[in-house]
């Protein structure tokens, strides 16, 4: 697209000389003998560069007129690129104008090469500003599309009301947040909501599942590496900290970070800088860190499992998500929400879920929490041929005992025992098919493999 340049000066000789020179190298050159013509000229279309004289009234030498019009131009177009035209005696005023938003100045009489170079650089700056604004707007639209869909972070129970309160208080700050809770309770949804309500909302939200990252690759994954740092490092790689610059980095399954690497992570958080593998110099990073774990409090408090100084750094604010069985009053709300969502996704006409089906869902302990409920509703909607989902549309896996119930020996069943039983039964029902068992339990395959190893299954 051809450049558009506006020259504003009350000296007709200056206007003619500048126009003759600039139109040889640039597209459209428009002149104005009075600053009063600037609003109309800008209304006709944006300019890549505006060359503005600093004095217009007879005998005026202070440059204040130019400063006033500079302000009016930038009020109308904050991305306008203004180059001042000034006499040698007013260079100090031109420097002041640059502090107010002008990008450069040329002194009269100018050298032609200097003027051409200055205008050329100004045009390039204008184009880069427009491109940056375009990309920022595009990023904002992408973020809105990603976060603008139906949110699974729903609930009216007292426990969830407290969660929402903590989110609202923590989000506007840059405080590190630790989200705790069982698998499937919605920890990443909480992290995304914190990001959405923060001042970083227009920047990237980057999630890293540390449970799926091999111990030896953790430094490279988070901090990046230099070419040749280790076998297979064929090129430089940006780590997740640097990739999330200006935004939010969500470290899921933080409890899986090996002790040897925890010290490096602590240093990165304290100094707000990372050292890529194979590099000698640190790289400054500006990220908000939110982390999550399903580890029990006693495990987090065990120094042999997790460094306490790192824990203190991560949990400036701690948000504990309740399991679904502790907020049964929210089950109907969530189930109906998912039914509407998946009906729209699959083009189905669903009038709702029957009271008996909702009662069945509310009475189930949901070892997989909200994630498992979501999968159950999706499955029911896909397989059902009715417009009202009934109890038979939800074939829920049997659970031996709910947390807090007594087992055959008279002692309370622990959550770990319940989880092991649910996994074993699901694997049995699906003849060892890990993918199908993971989907039924409402967890990822990686998480299921980790739990199978944990329980020796």
Q: Is residue 226 part of a domain?
A: yes
* Closest-CA residue to 295 (of 337, 256, 269): 256
Average the pLDDT over 388-414 and give the result. 64
Residue 151 lies in a domain: no
In a shared domain, residues 318 and 172? yes
- Is the same domain home to 374 and 425? yes
Percent pLDDT > 70 in the chain is 91
Mean per-residue pLDDT, 281-285: 87
If phi > 0 it is left, if psi is from -120 to 50 it is alpha, else beta; for residue 121 that is: alpha
333 shares its domain with 279:
no
Condensed to tens digits (0 to 9), the pLDDT of residues 362-382 reads: 999 998 899 999 999 999 999
Indicate if 38 and 179 belong to the same structural domain: no
Domain count across the chain? 3
Quick one: 177 and 314 in the same domain?
yes
153 belongs to a structural domain? no
Which band of pLDDT confidence, cut at 50, 70 and 90, is reported for residue 433? confident
pLDDT tens-digit series, residues 299-352: 888 888 899 999 999 999 999 999 999 999 999 999 999 999 999 999 888 889
321 or 215, which is more confident? 321
Query: pLDDT value at position 89?
Result: 56
Q: Which residues pair with 337 in a beta bridge?
A: none
CA-CA distances (angstroms) from residue 215 to 208, 308, 401? 14, 20, 36
For the residues 357-363, what does the mean pLDDT come to? 93
Each residue's pLDDT tens digit, 407-431: 444 444 566 777 788 888 888 787 7
328, with CB counted inside 10 A (0-12, 13-18, 19+), is middle
Of 74, 99, 133, which residue sits at a domain end?
A: 133
Torsion of CA 337, 341, 347, 353, to 10 degrees: -20
Same domain for 223 and 351? no
Nearest one of 324, 318, 325 to 185, comparing CA atoms:
324
Q: Which domain holds residue 77?
A: 4-133
Instruction: Of 14-23, 235-244, 304-313, give the lowest mean pLDDT range.
Output: 235-244
In 171-301, which ranges are continuous DSSP H helix? 187-196, 218-223, 240-243, 259-271, 297-300
- What CATH number should be reported for the domain holding residue 194? 3.40.50.300
Check residue 412 and give its pLDDT. Answer: 43
Q: Are residues 291 and 353 in the same domain?
A: no
* Same domain assignment for residues 233 and 303: yes
Domain termination residue (choose one: 322, 339, 360): 322
**CATH number, domain with residue 50:** 3.40.50.2300
**How does pLDDT run across 178-212, given as a tens digit for each residue?**
999 998 899 999 999 999 999 998 888 999 988 88
Q: Would you say residue 239 lies in a domain? A: yes
pTM > 0.75: yes or no: no
Residues 180, 323: Cα–Cα separation, whole Å: 10
Distance CA(284)–CA(68), nearest Å, equals 39
Q: Answer whether residue 341 is part of any domain.
A: yes
E strands along 239-325, which residues?
A: 248-252, 273-274, 283-284, 288-293, 317-320
Last residue of a domain, one of 297, 322, 347: 322
Within-domain flag for 129 = yes
Indicate whether 198 and 316 sit together in one domain. yes
């Amino acid at each position: 697209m051809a450049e558009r340049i506006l020259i504003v000066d009350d000296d007709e000789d200056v206007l003619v000389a500048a126009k003759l020179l600039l139109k040889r190298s640039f597209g459209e050159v428009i002149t104005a003998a009075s600053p009063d013509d600037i609003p109309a000229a800008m209304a006709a279309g944006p300019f890549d560069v505006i060359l503005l004289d600093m004095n217009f009234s007879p005998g005026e030498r202070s440059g204040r007129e130019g400063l006033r019009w500079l302000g009016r131009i930038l009020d109308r177009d904050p991305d306008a690129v203004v180059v001042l035209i000034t006499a040698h005696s007013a260079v100090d005023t031109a420097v002041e104008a640059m502090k107010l938003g002008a990008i450069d100045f040329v002194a009269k009489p100018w050298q032609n090469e200097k003027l051409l170079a200055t205008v050329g650089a100004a045009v390039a700056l204008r184009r880069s500003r427009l491109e940056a604004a375009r990309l920022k707007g595009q990023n904002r639209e992408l973020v809105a599309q990603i976060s603008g869909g139906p949110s699974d972070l729903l609930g009216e129970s007292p426990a969830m009301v407290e969660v929402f309160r903590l989110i609202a208080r923590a989000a506007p700050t840059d405080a590190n947040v630790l989200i705790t809770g069982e698998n499937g309770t919605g920890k990443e949804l909480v992290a995304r909501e914190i990001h959405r309500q923060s001042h970083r909302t227009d920047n990237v939200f980057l999630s890293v599942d540390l449970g799926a990252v091999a111990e030896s690759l953790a430094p490279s994954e988070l901090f990046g590496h230099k070419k040749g740092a280790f076998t297979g490092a064929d090129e430089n790689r940006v780590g997740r900290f640097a990739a999330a610059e200006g935004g939010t980095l969500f470290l899921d399954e933080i409890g899986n970070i090996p002790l040897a690497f925890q010290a490096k992570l602590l240093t990165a958080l304290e100094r707000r800088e990372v050292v890529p593998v194979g590099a000698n110099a640190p790289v400054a990073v500006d990220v908000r860190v939110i982390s999550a774990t399903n580890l029990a409090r006693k495990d987090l408090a065990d120094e042999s499992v997790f460094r306490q100084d790192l824990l203190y750094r991560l949990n400036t604010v701690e948000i504990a998500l309740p399991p679904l069985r502790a907020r049964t009053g929210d089950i109907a709300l969530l189930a109906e929400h998912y039914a509407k969502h998946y009906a729209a996704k699959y083009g189905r006409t669903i009038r709702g879920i029957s009271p008996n089906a909702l009662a069945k869902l509310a009475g189930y302990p949901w070892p997989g929490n909200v994630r498992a409920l979501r999968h159950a509703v999706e499955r029911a909607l896909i397989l059902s041929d009715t417009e009202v989902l009934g109890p038979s549309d939800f074939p829920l896996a049997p659970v031996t005992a709910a947390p807090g119930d007594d087992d055959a020996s008279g002692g309370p069943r622990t959550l770990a025992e319940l989880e092991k039983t649910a996994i074993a039964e699901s694997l049995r029902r699906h003849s060892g098919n890990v993918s199908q068992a993971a989907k039924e339990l409402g967890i990822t395959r990686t998480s299921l493999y980790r739990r199978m190893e944990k329980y020796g299954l």
